[in-house]
Amino acid sequence: MPELSQEEYDQLKNDLRIVKFQLQTINDTLDGGIWHTNIKEGAITATLSDKLFNTKIGTKALNNNSTGEKNTVMGYQALYYNTTGYDNTAIGYQSLYTNNIGYKNIALGHQSLYYNAIGYENIALGYQALYSNTIGYKNTALGHQTLYSSAEGFENIAIGYQALYSNAYGWYNVAIGTYALYSNTDAEKNTAIGYSSLYYNTTGNYLTAVGCWALKNNTTGYNNTAIGYQSLLSNTTGYDNTAIGIDSLRRNTEGYKNTAVGYMALWDNRTGDSNTVIGYESGYSNQTGDLNIFLGCKAGYYETGSNAFYVNNQDRTNTAGDKSKSLLYGVMAATAANQKLTINGLLNQSVSKTPTSATATGTAGDICWDASYIYVCIATDTWKRVEIATW
């Protein structure tokens, strides 16, 4: 036998090392199936299509499988503890690592669905997506650490970096955007679309936030709808509010049952409740006033009280200007006799009418006119008139 040179000896030693590695890899994963191997110098890829129709690639993938079938696995220790779970897809280092009997899950990414044990029909795409899920089901998590803390939550959708990160038990939530619904723990039926929307919400339910930082600071407030950049940004416990427009109800903290539509509508409202404002910067200065109605651009802009009514379309400089120059200014009250409406302009009743008699059909308060008289109904079907004279 010819003596080997040092170079030939080193090459043979290396070849033996590769073969040993290949045999060890097969020994680690072989479970009675049929292997198809593709061996290259210094590397091996192996796919096992076993008797249970499982497909796996990677050291210790499906390591503990007993009767689980139709699983597709790729990655070191992916589906490591699976025994009877079926129809799962695990791609990535330790993806679906703890899964035991869970079925029809899809995990794509490093340690995605890592702690899943019996949860089923979940989709996790991204680094540690749905990492803590154990029994939760029908969740969809797309993005880095989305739904990371969710253990038992179900039928949630999280798309974006750490969206619904802290969710543990909440269900029927939708979070789209970086940090959307980040702090949510066990709240339900919330929708957050936009960067950090509903970021601090923990247990508030039935919330809709669309826009960057919309309802960001909400913690336990419920039944709120915020659409627009920073709408209802500062709200914490306020409830039943609707804010549509950039910065609408931005400073509201505890106020409830407010409706603000328009750019910066009810911007400074803090604890005021049951206000309805529509228009650009309408109700801008209100902080604690309640039961106001403002309609139009800058309507009630300077008003800080309660029970006020404004129809306006421009800046009136101050509160006095609001009251004396807005087209309509009113004071509302529980008792009709205590209410007042001021019309800052000429009143034109363009249609004439002549009652047929002093007992013609009419309701107290009706007013009409013709070329000769002004008629006033003072009681049901009871009219009086005054003659119109020239001068």
* Same domain flag for 363 and 320: no
Average pLDDT over residues 266-288: 98
Per-residue confidence (pLDDT) for residue 38, from 0 to 100: 31
Average pLDDT over residues 335-352: 96
- Predicted confidence (pLDDT) at residue 9 exceeds the cutoff of 70: no
Which three-class secondary structure state does DSSP give residue 288?
coil
Per-residue confidence (pLDDT) for residue 119, from 0 to 100: 96
Q: Tell me which amino acid residue 21 is.
A: F
Per-residue confidence (pLDDT) for residue 391, from 0 to 100: 87
* Same domain flag for 380 and 342: no
Contacts of 196 (CB under 8 A, 6+ apart): 177, 178, 179, 180, 182, 212, 213, 216
pLDDT digits (tens, 9 = 90+) for 157-190: 999 999 999 999 999 999 999 999 999 999 999 9
**d(C-alpha 373, C-alpha 363), whole Å:** 18
* Same domain flag for 326 and 366: no
Domain of 373, in residue numbers: 350-391
Whether 241 maps to a domain, the answer reads: yes
* Same domain flag for 343 and 370: no
* Same domain flag for 245 and 340: yes
* Same domain flag for 311 and 287: yes
Average pLDDT over residues 50-59: 88
Whether 354 maps to a domain, the answer reads: yes
Spatial contact of 327 and 343, defined as CB atoms under 8 Å apart:
yes
* Same domain flag for 236 and 343: yes
* Same domain flag for 371 and 296: no
Whether 283 maps to a domain, the answer reads: yes
Whether 87 maps to a domain, the answer reads: no
Whether 326 maps to a domain, the answer reads: yes
* Same domain flag for 337 and 290: yes
Average pLDDT over residues 69-96: 97
* Same domain flag for 379 and 310: no
pLDDT digits (tens, 9 = 90+) for 326-335: 999 999 999 9
* Same domain flag for 253 and 297: yes
Average pLDDT over residues 28-45: 38
Whether 280 maps to a domain, the answer reads: yes
- Predicted confidence (pLDDT) at residue 35 exceeds the cutoff of 50: no
Domain count, the chain: 2
Instruction: Could you list the beta-strand ranges (E) of 313-371.
Output: 328-331, 340-343, 367-369
Per-residue confidence (pLDDT) for residue 29, from 0 to 100: 47
* Same domain flag for 248 and 308: yes
Per-residue confidence (pLDDT) for residue 14, from 0 to 100: 72
